[in-house]
Amino acid sequence: MQNGVERLIFISLLVVMGTALIILSRARRTKTASRLNGSSLSLLLEAMREGYLGLNGEGRIVDVNDSYLAMTGYRRRDVIGLHIEQLVILGEDDHLFARLKDIDRDRPAYYRGEHRAKDGSHIPMEVSVTAISMGEVSFICLYRDLREQERAEHEVRHSLDLLRYVIEHTQSAVAVFDTDMCYRFVSEKYLEEYHLGRSDPVIGVNHYTVIPDLPERWKEAHRRALAGEVLSCQDDRFERQDGSVEYTRWECRPWFQSDGSIGGMVLYTENITAQKQFEHELMEARDYLSALITRANAPIVVWDEELTIVRTNPAFASLFGMEVGHLVGKDLRILERFIDKAENEQAISLFLSRQRIDAVEIGIKQADGSVKTVLWTAAPVYDPASAKLQAFIGQGQEISERKRVEAENQKQLAMLQRWYAVMAHREERVMELKREVNELLTEAGRSVRYASVEGRSEP
């Protein structure tokens, strides 16, 4: 808005300047008295915020105002005498001076161009050139610096591009509409959930053309949103034209223009059909799991994050000489009296860590004083929608017999090791005795009897 106002002021000023210059030129040609003289024109040009260059008939600079010097960084002596094409950035086939000669004396020419600043940078300019005969000056060139305007335009474009990028790549299904319900922005997730291809022409197309089978209640919600309301639904059944049924969660709210008026509507939507199907399958799975747990021969127990037992089976209860009904709803720690203190502390620590537990052995004291060893595996179960911990499920395998066999094997191994040690010692003692006999025979001047212990063959 501000750039538009500045541009309008600039054009108006150029028109006034051009008119004044034309009048002055005609007055000088007809030698008509005029209140506008060269001195007053110079004051006007010097006071302008816009840059000014005066060119002679050859296109060389003969006059310049402080505004042009300020915007380009030159000093007056740097530019006086230069040809205009030394400052203007030209294309390969562009000949500025030839264009200047074609300017009608009574009609200023307007165009956009670039000038080379003293530091070598390029300055975008809005230019007005007027042909005039006033002493040395044949062309009056007025310039408006467009750097701030182009920077602002670039920022606006960047903001729009960033908004488009964010919306397109968000993990949510989002669409932005104008007041006619035509798409302005749309996310890739939205295209996916409504089975639209990425190559389909959606931007600028009416929503009801893209998805023609929308129910009337949704269209009414859109009208209310465009009137300023914010509406939503957490579980909405959507029957498609092909007979299929989808469930959606949606919210629509208005968006506003800079002047406060409603510019359109934003639609946030999520297809929860798969979630609904999963919930149905989960209910069936729970019924199946309940039957499986109850009838399983292996001990199974389920507890929540507070260590409260929520489900178990007879095989588990019998390990503690209790009934299932006496365990459900109780704290898992009521069973610690049946378990060695160190093993119990280790187990509780693992349970509270909310991590998977593999192959943890726990001994359970029985009423007759014996101990049953159970190998436990436990895993957390999370809600797939919210990722919240729902429960832990643990399954045991009684390995008391295996532990007895392992203990017996260890006992036998220990006996074998002791026997081997004794036999090895005896063998060494026999070797020592043979060496002693050989030494006695040698002292007596006789041949050794046991040559093998001396590293020689027996005679």
Q: Is 155 a member of any domain?
A: no
Q: Is 250 a member of any domain?
A: yes
Say yes or no: 13 and 137 in one domain: yes
- pLDDT score recorded for residue 88: 87
Distance, in Å, from the CA atom of 142 to the CA atom of 55, rounded to the nearest integer, reads 11
- pLDDT score recorded for residue 446: 79
Say yes or no: 329 and 359 in one domain: yes
Say yes or no: 58 and 137 in one domain: yes
Q: Is 366 a member of any domain?
A: yes
Q: Is 261 a member of any domain?
A: yes
Structure tokens at 362: 């726990």
Q: Does the reported pTM lie above 0.75?
A: no
Say yes or no: 185 and 139 in one domain: no
Say yes or no: 305 and 184 in one domain: no
Say yes or no: 267 and 338 in one domain: no
Say yes or no: 394 and 424 in one domain: no
Domain boundary among 218, 247, 271: 271
Domain boundary among 271, 302, 320: 271
Instruction: Write the pLDDT tens digit of every residue in 27-79.
Output: 444 444 344 455 556 667 777 788 999 888 888 999 999 999 999 999 999 99
Tell me the pLDDT of the chain averaged across its residues. Answer: 80
Say yes or no: 304 and 374 in one domain: yes
DSSP assignment of 159-183: HHHHHHHHHHH-SSEEEEEETT-BE
Contact partners, residue 347, CB within 8 Å, separation at least 6: 339, 360, 362, 376
Domain that holds residue 114: 2-148
Number of domains the chain contains: 4
- pLDDT score recorded for residue 287: 81
Residue type, 215: P
Say yes or no: 8 and 143 in one domain: yes
Which stretches of the chain score pLDDT less than 70? 1-43, 91-106, 134, 162-169, 453-459
Place of tokens 């600079």: 61
Q: Is 159 a member of any domain?
A: no
CATH number at residue 23: 3.30.450.20
Q: Is 208 a member of any domain?
A: yes
Distance, in Å, from the CA atom of 107 to the CA atom of 11, rounded to the nearest integer, reads 13
Say yes or no: 287 and 265 in one domain: no
Instruction: Write the pLDDT tens digit of every residue in 217-226.
Output: 999 999 999 9
Say yes or no: 261 and 282 in one domain: no
